């Protein structure tokens, strides 16, 4: 599957108390589904909104999954530092998906 990007993303709830890391090959359907249902994990259920904070693009799914696993295994502090290095104001980037 050459040319198809794999996207690694970090999303959060309204209060940025929960960070969720995921990988997809087609972000728009995932975005629509998550915005509609607001359900990814029990900690994100019933939130008012889901904020899309970071996107990284990879050509190989193995690279995206490797990055996802590394981030999931890291500390919350490391995740926050990554978010702030790319998106210092923690702006919801969902409008850029549409």
What is the per-residue pLDDT across 50-76, written as a single tens digit (0 to 9) for each? 788 888 888 888 999 999 999 999 999
Overall pTM surpassing 0.75 (yes/no): no
- Is there a contact between 13 and 60 (Cβ–Cβ < 8 Å)? no
Residue 9 has pLDDT above 80, yes or no: yes
3-state helix, strand, coil in the chain (%, to 5): 45, 25, 35
């Amino acid at each position: 599957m050459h040319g198809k990007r794999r996207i690694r993303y970090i999303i959060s709830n309204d209060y940025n108390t929960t960070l969720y890391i995921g990988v997809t090959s087609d972000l728009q359907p995932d975005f629509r589904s998550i915005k509609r249902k607001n359900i990814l994990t029990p900690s994100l259920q019933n939130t008012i909104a889901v904020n899309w904070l970071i996107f990284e693009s990879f050509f190989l799914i193995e690279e995206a999954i490797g990055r996802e696993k590394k981030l999931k295994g890291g500390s919350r502090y490391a995740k926050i530092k990554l978010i702030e290095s790319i998106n210092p104001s923690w702006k919801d980037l969902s409008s850029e998906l549409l």
